[in-house]
Amino acid sequence: MFWESGANTKISDGSCISNKPSYWNEKSTEPLKTVTIGQLLDDAALQYGDKEALVSCHQNQRLSFKQIQAQANDFAAGLLAGVHNGEPTIDRSLVPTQEKINHYNTHVIINSEQNLKGTFRLSDIMQGAGPEYHRRREQISKSLNCRDGINIQFTSGTTGHPKAAFLTHYNLINNSNFIGKRLEFDKTDHKILLQVPMFHTFGTAMGILNAMNHGSTTVVPAPSFKPMDSLRAIAKEKCTVLYGTPTMYVDLISSIQPLTEEMPNIAEELSSPVIALTAGAPCSPTLFNKIRDTFGIKHLILYFQVKVVDKKGNIVPMGMCGEVCYRGYNVMLGYYGEENKILENDEWFPSGDFFILHENGYGQVVGRIKDIIIRGGENIIPKEIEYVLQTHPDVVEAQVYGVPDERLGEVVVANIELKPGASLTQDDIKTYCKGK
């Protein structure tokens, strides 16, 4: 059921619309953390000490929480020394002019033993600060506020225009802490396979900061995503938690067969994971089941408010589709340069996602509002069609979208990737989808 209509009381999964409003406030007696990321690392080093914090498979390195703290402090002090000496190490300008590119190329830090023209070696930066810069680093660390904006995550969204989400220590630390608690990281030691980019919030908040909050070990299998290296890391390090986008899981599953010669007992060696986390895009029920069956997954947020509203901003009944809005510690300050807009909306962030909230506090994203296909006046959510297509045994992935049509306004188009050796016609697909 769509958010502009209230005529029916049933939705596509057969459940009924509730009389209760689509609003959820998940409360907790546990206080929120009011520390900075630097203080969180200090706390982790004190609490977990020599426990293994990082395994870098491709670099053959293992670091404890204490070692990471020491290296982070050396790097920060080295940056301060470089700035003080008139050698800024970062060009913060986002304007890609040739002049700025040339300037940036003279201030690049590389992790290499080679002395390359126009660059600074990471080892030199970390060893280049005297005691005065370490004292200065400590003073700056103590002066920081957890509500300071310290991270900008660029998201293109569905419009394709980059938007700069301005995040704080408070956002990132509490978000990662409660994600970890929801997954019971605080009750069991875990090894996290971190194959997602660390410049995205998936890698930073859900990965690195989550591990710092709960003393988990982060396993980095390769400098960039390589499914076979990830599978080898799972087997060798006995990773218990997998992080990945839906596409990464598709590649992992399809790469198992080519590894059977190298790893004859691969099915048994990949049985260590108990949690699989997917983000970045919706995961279809079909792929979810494949992840569960392949890795034997056993388990596939507090101080957080959710409401689902119609086009006029009114809360819709539980079970009805509408736009989901969020309010809580994990909501950003706002888009960079427009921080006050969220405050003007009583701190509610409109997501742009179609969502159905159920009475047990769970729900599902069913599509993006801007992705809606309007065919002859009928609203169609592409994700619902994609989920049906992906249940076909010969289909790997499907992408559904609308294209202009003179008579209907838009018509539905599907791009479908088949399994190797499979063959399907357009009529085969139509017959399979009929009645679903």
pTM of the model: 0.71
- Return the structure tokens found at 185: 């990281």
pLDDT for residue 278: 85
pLDDT for residue 394: 92
pLDDT for residue 279: 82
* Of 285, 211, 201, 264, nearest in space to 241 by CA: 211
Highest mean pLDDT (candidates 54-68, 305-319, 329-343, 400-414): 54-68
- Return the structure tokens found at 195: 């194959």
pLDDT for residue 21: 85
Question: Which secondary structure element, helix H or strand E, spans residue 220, and what is its range?
Answer: strand 217-220
Residue 374 makes CB contacts below 8 A (sequence gap 6+) with 380, 402, 409, 410
DSSP 141-167: HHH--TTSEEEEEEE-TTTTS-EEEEE
10 Å CB burial of residue 311 (0-12, 13-18, 19+) is exposed
167-171, 329-333, 410-414 — which is least confidently predicted? 329-333
Q: How far apart are CA 362 and CA 359, in angstroms?
A: 7
- Return the structure tokens found at 321: 């589709």
13-27, 50-64, 133-147, 400-414 — which is least confidently predicted? 13-27
Q: How far apart are CA 116 and CA 89, in angstroms?
A: 15
For 149-177, letters b (16+ CB in 10 Å) and e give bbbebeeeeeeeeeebbbbbbbbbbbbbb
- Return the structure tokens found at 279: 């983000």
pLDDT-based confidence at residue 44 (cuts at 50, 70, 90):
very high
* Of 248, 200, 191, 237, nearest in space to 218 by CA: 191
pLDDT for residue 196: 93
In percent, how much of the chain has pLDDT > 70?
Answer: 86
Beta strand 191-194 pairing with 119-121: unpaired
DSSP category for residue 354: E
Q: How far apart are CA 47 and CA 125, in angstroms?
A: 28
State the amino acid at position 272 in one-letter form. Answer: S
pLDDT for residue 381: 83
Angle between helices 246-254 and 227-237 (to 10 degrees): 80
Q: Which tops the pLDDT comparison, 218 or 328?
A: 218
10 Å CB burial of residue 97 (0-12, 13-18, 19+) is exposed
Q: Mean pLDDT over residues 402-412, rounded?
A: 86
Whether residue 304 contacts residue 26, with contact meaning beta carbons closer than 8 Å, is answered with yes
Q: Please say if the pLDDT value at position 219 is more than 50.
A: yes
Q: Please say if the pLDDT value at position 258 is more than 60.
A: yes
Using DSSP, state whether 80 is helix, strand or coil. helix
Q: How far apart are CA 320 and CA 309, in angstroms?
A: 9
10 Å CB burial of residue 67 (0-12, 13-18, 19+) is middle
Q: Mean pLDDT over residues 137-164, rounded?
A: 83
Using DSSP, state whether 125 is helix, strand or coil. helix
**Edge-to-edge order in the sheet of strand 217-220:** 61-64, 52-56, 217-220, 191-194, 241-244, 275-278
Q: Mean pLDDT over residues 313-331, rounded?
A: 87
Q: Please say if the pLDDT value at position 102 is more than 50.
A: no
Q: How far apart are CA 115 and CA 136, in angstroms?
A: 28
Q: Please say if the pLDDT value at position 88 is more than 70.
A: no
pLDDT for residue 348: 87
Q: How far apart are CA 223 and CA 206, in angstroms?
A: 18
Angle between helices 65-84 and 131-143 (to 10 degrees): 100
Q: How far apart are CA 212 and CA 189, in angstroms?
A: 12
pLDDT for residue 43: 97
The stretches of 238-321 forming alpha helices (DSSP H) are: 246-254, 266-269, 285-295
Distance from CA of residue 274 to its chain's centroid?
Answer: 19
Q: Which residue has the tokens 């009529």?
A: 427
- What is the rounded average pLDDT for all residues in the chain? 83
Domains and CATH numbers, the chain: 303-368 (2.30.38.10), 373-433 (3.30.300.30)
